[in-house]
Amino acid sequence: MTVKLRLTAGLLGQGYSQAVTIGAQLVSVPVLIGLWGVEQYGAWLLISAIPTYLALADLGFAQVGAAEMTMRVARGDRASAAIAFHTVFAMNCIIGLTVFCGMAAVALSPLSVSLMGQAYTNSAIPLVLLALSLHALLSLLQGILGAGMRSEGHFALMSFTFATLRLADISAVMLAAWFGGDLLDAALAMLVTRAVLTALVAFLIQRRWSWLRLGFANARVEEARRMLRPSLHFLGYTLGNLVSIQGATIVIGAVLGPAAVAVTSTTRTLARLGVTGANMLNFTLQPEYSMRYAEGGSGGLTKLFRFHILTIIAVAVVYVCFMLGLGSSFYAVWTKAKIEMPAMLFSFLLMGSAVDMLWTALQTPAIATNRMKLTGPAYLIVSCLGLAALAYYSPREGVVAFGAVAFAGAVAMLVIAYAEYRKLQRQS
């Protein structure tokens, strides 16, 4: 497959993936608010944010493994790529099950109910958390299976497959709510759907590429040790996202209540549509960075990066102009005017999203070649500082504090990501 064909297919696959992400938000928000009401919908957002901490179990191994396998397959070394594949699978199984046991203990303890505060209590909350934790555990396989598909040059197929799984998840939730189900019914519907489809995808992948059969036969301790350092650096992104998104959701819910969670979540979703578009290009180009680095020479990397950053800048300009003109009107139609969007909150989130588009593009080459050193840990630190600032200012400033913190963090990350890129450029 030629480079142009790979990029075209990859962008189409990412287009479908992001269309699913955006479409699911656009459709599910009014549907679930209409069926459950703002209070119960806010409670669903708050509860479902907690099990996502199971993403910690990955420790960045799936991303590092994907880049490593892509580079090895590009050199024609599938035997070595199989070692990386089984090592990542083994590490995710061990750590994932350990973290799940801890999450289950929290779900079945009184702590799970206390996390919801006094605004929303329900005896089924522990079971909802347990079901969503099992779903998150199954979702860890997505990164492992996707790494194998990406290494074989089928990034577009990977994007299409796992976007379809996400579409099935939200469809199961909406169907459960449509037929009168509560939060527990929705969580169980999503869990069963993901279990069946994950098993089917794993079976089809190993039928297509025999060396991508899940197992532990080729796992190596020394391989895990070698991959640990870049994995821990990449873990900073995972932890940072959990702190800045799920952590902020929990803080907003505890301080301002579930209704405020609904306001910040919907406003953030609308403001970050441009980031979603930019990520299409970022993710599509990652395998290309990996392959060009494996093939040697810095000329191809520089040319690819120039195309990358200029495209992102153009997308950012168009996105900001469009949202400044039509964002508030679209929000009113989207939420059926049941949620009022604070203008200051939207402005902060819009500016922060534009900056996010730039810094995430800057750090893409380092991620694709397992050479990230600054941005991951820095993102975690910036996110933690932002969460502390949110907890301090939100009682006085309300939801606007959420937007101000997001913008300040994005500016800090732009400076750090640029420094990381300059360092990588000198080394290359």
Express each pLDDT in 137-153 by its tens digit: 888 888 888 888 888 88
Query: Does the pLDDT of residue 117 top 60, yes or no?
Result: no
pLDDT at residue 427 is higher than 60: yes
Size of the chain in residues: 428
Q: What percent of the chain has pLDDT over 90?
A: 15
Query: Where in the sequence is the domain holding 281, given as residue range(s)?
Result: 3-427
On whether the CB atoms of residues 187 and 132 are closer than 8 A, the answer is yes
- The mean pLDDT of 9-34, rounded to a whole number, is 83
Are the C-beta atoms of residues 233 and 377 closer than 8 Å to each other?
yes
User: Is pLDDT of 400 > 80?
Assistant: yes
Name the band, by pLDDT with cuts 50, 70 and 90, for residue 356. very high
- The pLDDT assigned to 283 comes to 85
* pLDDT band at residue 14 under the 50/70/90 scheme: confident
Helix (H) or strand (E) holding 73: helix 61-74
Q: What's residue 113's pLDDT?
A: 61
Q: Output the DSSP codes for 5-39.
A: HHHHHHHHHHHHHHHHHHHHHHHHHHHHHHHH-HH
Torsion sign over Cα 52, 55, 57, 59: negative
How confident is residue 366, by pLDDT bands cut at 50, 70 and 90?
confident
User: Domains in the chain: how many in total?
Assistant: 1
- The larger pLDDT score, comparing residue 109 to residue 363, is at 363
Q: Where are the alpha helices (DSSP H) in 209-342?
A: 221-241, 248-256, 258-271, 273-295, 299-334
Question: For the CA atoms of 52, 54, 59, 65, what is the dihedral angle to 10 degrees?
Answer: -80
pTM: 0.71
d(CA 114, CA 299): 56
For residues 402 and 394, give the distance between their C-alpha atoms in angstroms, rounded to a whole number.
7
Summarize pLDDT for 79-103 with one digit per residue, the tens. Answer: 888 998 999 888 888 888 887 787 7
Cα–Cα distance, 210 to 271 (Å, whole number): 43
The pLDDT value recorded for residue 384 is: 92
Helix (H) or strand (E) holding 181: none
Q: Summarize the confidence of residues 343-358 as an average pLDDT.
A: 90
Q: Is pLDDT of 422 > 60?
A: yes
Mean pLDDT over each residue of the chain, to the nearest integer: 83
Reading the block at residue 67, the tokens are 């880049």
Other CB atoms within a 10 A radius of the CB of residue 198 amount to 19
Q: Which pLDDT score is estimated for 156?
A: 85
Assess contact for 236 and 106: CB atoms under 8 A: no
pLDDT tens string 232-262: 787 788 788 878 887 888 888 888 877 788 7
What is residue 119's predicted lDDT score, i.e. its pLDDT? 45
**Mean pLDDT to the nearest integer, 363-378:** 85
Written as six digits, the tokens of 47 are 């509860």
User: Which of 271, 250, 265, 257 is CA-nearest to residue 129?
Assistant: 250
The pLDDT value given to residue 288: 85
